[in-house]
Structure 1
């Protein structure tokens, strides 16, 4: 199911933005939030405001993955099967490494688009392939100052006591995580206090539980960080249930 037009050379160079949405039996999960982020990303990279009527008016009668790509010449809507790896990681957990991304949270160039979900994802996939070659499943990026940022395709969420936290996207200049934000909005209903704050790697390692959250994974518990095993948390199935997963 695709709406396509001829691709321009600039599109092939990653000059565009995208969103990936989990298609459930009830419809696209958190679609309004994804479309709002697509518009914000478009503004960051200097694209005109997208006309998202074709997405809003379409009836989705299947499960899987909805991908929306917007560039200077096209709005592409496609559906793909849901990846089994996302389900496996959601329930079995993931092994994660940390790595310095070589980016400072205090000194970003004025043309930075790190707050946008850009099509320029080659570095993200390269980072995950590197982690897999090291025997892990994914990695967490750190700033040059040692602050936790995000994972290549996920947000970082952690639990310390009764405080459920994620990295503040504006302060860290990272992509706002839709699943992370939604999870924190639901936290008070299970007795947890939501918070956004900067955290160093040693502080993160001392947290009770760490998760990577994204539209497809939902949330995947970090069972090993930099080679050190972590005990499984009873909060994982509870929060997955809270998300309807």
Structure 2
């Protein structure tokens, strides 16, 4: 297993054990910053690639804009990713996650902190692609359209403030589930802590409307390539019954890519007849 690699925006690789963030960095003390994450692996031609690279850089820029952070140094993050991919041992770890991080910087003022970190994709994420995930439905305090109308809640931003998302995942694990799907106060399905939901309803693929939901690059990938594979994907207002009575369902994310939902709150869910087609479209 490869050790994590750390790159600065000048393209230099630095020792991951050496501090590069000040103790008073607002990304550390307040979670005031943004990040994005994507999968790196060898392509069909054997050449290492960063999946949906430009789309992740675009989303990092959108997140920074929402938090009123300085515009990310796109060329610098490109250099950092290039350096990481060139230095990575893909024989030891064929799949890895690259995280792009930008914080507001020191509390007293100063330059923002920016770096890229590459680490092996977790074994559990790889296993869940094959065996699927059991999920539980958990309430979220705001409806999607309400969040979209409240910019101070940072709708659409991938911020470093991920404590609630991680708490939801821990809650699920403590109760014997692999993952979570959030439900709004109005009773509509939203998203997972780190994933997007897609359900099969009679051969039609449906996903929750993205009001107040982080835009999913993996979903964009699916919607872009689905028509050529004969698949129909659309946004819809989905209720828990739409999931529990579905012909199948999946959680999509940039690292795990695709994991079928095997059960919802202990209630088994069938494997969709479209599962193999989705896997081909997403390159699983």
TM-score range, shorter chain: over 0.9
In structure 1, the partner of 2:70 is: 48
Q: What residue ranges of structure 1 are gaps of 5+ in the alignment?
A: none
SS in 2 for 1:42: helix
Kindly indicate whether the alpha-carbon contact (under 8 Å) linking 1:3 and 1:75 is maintained by their aligned counterparts in 2.
Answer: no
In structure 2, the partner of 1:14 is: 31
Superposed structure 1 runs of 4+ greater than 4 Å apart: none
In structure 1, the partner of 2:228 is: 189
In structure 2, the partner of 1:31 is: 53
The TM-score with structure 2 as length reference comes to: 0.81
Q: Which has the larger radius of gyration?
A: 2
The aligned runs of 1:150-169 (5 Å cut-off) are 150-169=191-210
Q: CA RMSD in A?
A: 1.5
Q: Once the two structures are superposed, what CA deviation does each residue of 1:138-192 show, in whole Å capped at 9, x if it has no partner? A: 11001100111100010111122232222222xx211001101211211112211
Q: Once the two structures are superposed, what CA deviation does each residue of 1:50-85 show, in whole Å capped at 9, x if it has no partner? A: 112122232413341111101122111111011111
Kindly indicate whether the alpha-carbon contact (under 8 Å) linking 1:66 and 1:80 is maintained by their aligned counterparts in 2.
Answer: yes
Q: Once the two structures are superposed, what CA deviation does each residue of 1:182-224 show, in whole Å capped at 9, x if it has no partner? A: 1121111221112112211112222211100001111100000
Q: What residue ranges of structure 2 are gaps of 5+ in the alignment?
A: 9-19, 43-47, 89-94, 105-111
The TM-score with structure 1 as length reference comes to: 0.93
- 1:101 Cα deviation from its structure 2 partner: 0.9
Kindly indicate whether the alpha-carbon contact (under 8 Å) linking 2:146 and 2:212 is maintained by their aligned counterparts in 1.
Answer: no
Is 1:116–2:157 an aligned residue pair? yes
In structure 2, the partner of 1:210 is: 249
Is 1:179–2:218 an aligned residue pair? yes
- Looking at structure 2, the residues matched to 52 and 136 of structure 1 have their Cα atoms a distance apart, in angstroms, of 38
**Among residues 201, 213, 238, which one is paired with 2:277 in the alignment?**
238
